[in-house]
Amino acid sequence: MFNKRTKIKALLSHGVVDQEVVVMGWVRTFRNNQFIALNDGSTSQNIQVVVPLGSVDEALLKRITTGASLRIEGKLVASLGKGQSVEVLANLIEILGDSDAEKFPLQPKKHSLEFLREIAHLRFRTQTFGAVFRIRHALAFAVHQFFNERGFVYLHTPIITASDAEGAGEMFRVTTLPMDGSAPRNEDGSIDYKEDFFGKSTNLTVSGQLEGELGAMAFSEIYTFGPTFRAENSNTTRHLAEFWMIEPEMAFCDLEDNMNLAEAFVKHLIGYAMEHCADDLAWLDTRLAEEEKQKPQQERQEMGLVEKLKFVLDNDFERITYTDAINILLQSPAYKKKKFQYEVAWGIDLQSEHERYLVEKHFKKPVIVTNYPAKIKAFYMRMDDGCEPGKETVAAMDILAPGIGEIVGGSQREERLERLEARMEEFGIPVEEMSWYLDTRRFGTVPHAGFGLGFERMVQFVTGMGNIRDVIPFARTPKNCEF
């Protein structure tokens, strides 16, 4: 069997010295024709392979270049060098794949993140991105672990849908009709989608929530975890056109239950990463500290990465209403000194700068903001009772995190049929086309709630990466669909 090997992570963590081993991986560096730093992706750490002088012919030595892949047989021995406890003393080296040293773009030196985005198909091999994507994997596993342990049903909601869950209209259209202008038309000149594959206009989903609610009305608690799509022309460090969302929906649940679950969920993900990805987090912590040194003093973060994560784990999230948040912003030195780019007034949609002020300057910890104005929230959110005219609010909640702002958005859903139909009419959503959704209110309606967590923003928060394009393998953004 060819693949009879031991992963480098296993050798470094509990390898038994003086045993014969087989390791395979890619060359990070090769020094003095004797010391190979080999990495197989199982850990951020390399294992040192020592090539005894004179044991390998000159032609083979020249082929041991950065990026080349090797199969090595040898003995695991205690290391005399600093930085590692064991190393491999090679007795057989086989080159599985050559790498042209002059053409391989990942030479052993520091590369900018901008450059690495241009070669995203190779950036996994760097120490930084190896750490990021191992942590992403761990967080994905922790998502399923959290909900499975609580009896939630994992529901696969459709990627192609005929509904717009958010009412935003920023969707990618799905069609098999010709794009050359010959698509069938109605009398008014609009495209006749009855001739399309699905017989109607369809899009890539912006959310699995509406279908998730259907599942919650049968299983009590479900969650989705899948790709979602927004055709939003936002070229920022926080937005993607294709991203992954986790969306639990819970029957017999109100806004407070929703907040409690969301806070426990965020803390579970962070705790799992800290327990299972300590080496990768330590590397990213060091990297972030170096990055912070390059910033002006006033722009530096007060806490290191690991310190920040531990702080979030150890403290309850602050909970305030939207009205309280607006009042805090209006009384803030930043507002009084006109440092906010966007206006502050009751009824505005909080901008990232407002959210980050609340989290990073005022409370200095994650904050849950509740009871937002109804006019700036989606149609399905439950209207609060007893509101004064012109200041109607809904039972919504957002979790704001240091560094990135909103990380979770959710609400108690409007379970009262008449109220929901009235809201849909306000938003111009055709009630008859959503009859399937309204059936959940017609037949055995119950108080229920749910939230959505943008997975990439969670990965960003845990890894400390400043740009969301660096926490998804292949970013899809305006004018960019490479690889």
Structure tokens at 443: 């037949």
Residue 476 amino acid letter = R
Closest CA relative to residue 306, chosen from 282, 332, 289, 326: 282
pLDDT tens for residues 36-72?
999 999 999 999 999 998 888 999 999 999 999 999 9
Is the per-residue pLDDT at 341 higher than 60?
yes
pLDDT tens for residues 69-82?
999 999 999 998 77
Q: Please report how the helices 127-149 and 278-293 are oriented relative to each other, as an axis angle in degrees rounded to 10.
A: 130
Strand partners, 408: 399, 453
Closest CA relative to residue 394, chosen from 417, 419, 418: 419
Closest CA relative to residue 422, chosen from 440, 444, 438: 438
Q: How much is the mean pLDDT over the chain? A: 93
Strand partners, 185: 191
- Residue that the structure tokens 């990070």 belong to: 28
Give dist(CA 295, CA 301) in Å, integer.
Answer: 10
pLDDT tens for residues 202-247?
999 999 999 999 999 999 999 999 999 999 888 888 889 999 999 9
Instruction: Identify the CATH number of the domain defined by range 8-106.
Output: 2.40.50.140
Closest CA relative to residue 60, chosen from 36, 37, 79, 40: 36
With b for 16 or more beta-carbon neighbours within 10 A and e for fewer, the 49-70 pattern comes to bbbeeeebeeeeeebbbbbbbb
Predicted pLDDT at 303: 84
Structure tokens at 300: 């530096």
Is the per-residue pLDDT at 421 higher than 70?
yes
Residues sharing a CB contact under 8 Å with residue 363, sequence separation 6 or more, in sequence order: 318
251-274: average pLDDT: 98
The percent of the chain in helix, strand and coil, each rounded to the nearest 5, is 35, 25, 40
Domains in the chain: boundaries: 8-106, 127-151+270-470
Structure tokens at 400: 């704001």
Residue 25 amino acid letter = G
Determine how many CB atoms are found less than 10 A away from the CB of residue 385.
7
Predicted pLDDT at 296: 85
Kindly state which CATH superfamily the domain 127-151+270-470 is placed in: Bira Bifunctional Protein; Domain 2 (3.30.930.10)
Predicted pLDDT at 121: 95
Is the per-residue pLDDT at 168 higher than 70?
no
Closest CA relative to residue 326, chosen from 395, 366, 376, 372: 372
pLDDT tens for residues 170-191?
899 999 999 998 999 999 989 9
DSSP string, 130-161: HHHHHHHHHHHHHHHHHHHHTT-EE----SEE
With b for 16 or more beta-carbon neighbours within 10 A and e for fewer, the 127-163 pattern comes to bbbbbbbbbbebbbebbeebbeeeebeebebeeebeb
